Amino acid sequence: MAVYCDLYPAGQRAEKTSPEERKAILEDVATQPLLDRMLRGIAALRVTGRVTWGSPVVHASDIEITGDQATLHDCQDGSGAGQADDKTGKHLTRGTGGTHLVATLHKGKDGARRVSKVEQVEQVERVEKPCSPTA
């Protein structure tokens, strides 16, 4: 769970560095295909003069480990995070609460787990298993 919780802060550290340094920062917490997705996302964010602000609150549960793969569910509260104008710091977007995410992690050759995928669970699935920080 620790590496999943460090995913967002690592992304923020990476967005403040040069494009050449970003991959090295993110490789500690992410692996393919998420690694390339994050690098493309940071590049797109920076081109538009935006940065991220704040930090989502993680409410992880249902952690399952099977061999080299692990999955966890997160009922994330992103209302304290979003995108901001890099020059003015003005908040341009804000996340929402109760976002049900499912993360997949894989164990690397070095024995460390890294996040390989994060997917948002669709609303239809939420009805069957509601996303609640207390669930």
Work out the burial of residue 52: count CB atoms within 10 Å of its CB; fewer than 13 is exposed, 13-18 middle, 19 or more buried: buried
List pLDDT tens digits, range 78-105: 999 999 999 999 999 999 999 999 999 9
Domain ranges of the chain: 2-128
| Fold exhibited by the domain 2-128 | Nuclear Transport Factor 2; Chain: A, (3.10.450)
Q: Kindly report whether the global pTM for this prediction surpasses the value 0.85.
A: yes
Q: pLDDT band for 22, please (50, 70, 90 cuts).
A: very high
Is the per-residue pLDDT at 125 higher than 80?
A: no
Beta bridge partners of residue 114, listed in sequence order: 106
Q: pLDDT (tens digit, 9 = 90+) per residue, 41-78?
A: 999 999 999 999 999 999 999 999 999 999 999 999 99
**DSSP E strand stretches across 19-126:** 50-54, 60-66, 69-76, 81-85, 99-107, 113-120
Are 18 and 119 a contacting pair, CB within 8 Å?
no
Q: What is the pLDDT of residue 104?
A: 98
